[in-house]
């Protein structure tokens, strides 16, 4: 490692130690809202088993998240954000099929949040 990079790394370790001891304040702090996993799953009308399969996790892990025993971290947390904002993209990747065909099959649940009407669909009769 070059001397200047090592000196920079050493200084950041010293700063981190000072922050942990309360002698220095962090220059930046980021807070992220905890995802409400149950509300997200229920907004799409999916069972725990189906949502867990979509996320690539076990139903037990999903139950732990929903009941507050554990929290989603890292890539799972990012994926929850994508599922919330762009569910079609997740379906494209998970199924390998264009999501518009998958979601438009008769008799199949859609991943449109409850109350949302997909383009081209009528609200008549609701």
> What is the tens place of the pLDDT at every residue in 88-100?
888 888 777 665 5
C-alpha neighbours within 13 Å on the C-beta side of residue 73: 4
Q: If you average pLDDT over every residue of the chain, what do you get? A: 79
H or E segment and range at residue 61? helix 59-66
Q: What is the mean predicted confidence (pLDDT) over 90-119?
A: 57
Residue 115 is predicted with a pLDDT of 45
- For the chain, the domain total comes to 1
72 within some domain = yes
76 within some domain = yes
Which pTM value belongs to this model? 0.55
Who contacts 76 (Cβ-Cβ below 8 Å, separation ≥6)?
Answer: 55, 57
Joined together, the tokens standing for residue 40 give 């997200």
Residue 111 is predicted with a pLDDT of 57
Who contacts 45 (Cβ-Cβ below 8 Å, separation ≥6)?
Answer: 109, 114
28 within some domain = no
82 within some domain = yes
Q: 65: domain CATH number? A: 1.10.260.40
Which residues form the domain of 96? 37-103
Task: Specify the higher pLDDT residue, 40 or 118.
Answer: 40
25 within some domain = no
């Amino acid at each position: 490692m070059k001397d200047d990079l090592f000196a920079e790394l050493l200084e950041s370790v010293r700063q981190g130690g000072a922050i942990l001891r309360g002698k220095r304040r962090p220059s930046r702090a980021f807070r992220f809202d905890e995802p409400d996993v149950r509300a997200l799953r229920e907004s799409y009308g999916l069972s725990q088993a189906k949502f867990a399969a979509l996320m690539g996790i076990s139903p037990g892990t999903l139950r732990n998240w929903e009941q507050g025993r554990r929290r989603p971290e890292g890539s799972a947390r990012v994926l929850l954000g994508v599922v919330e904002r762009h569910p079609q993209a997740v379906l494209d990747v998970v199924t390998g099929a264009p999501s518009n065909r998958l979601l438009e099959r008769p008799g199949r649940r859609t991943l449109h949040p409850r109350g949302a009407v997909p383009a081209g669909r009528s609200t008549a009769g609701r």
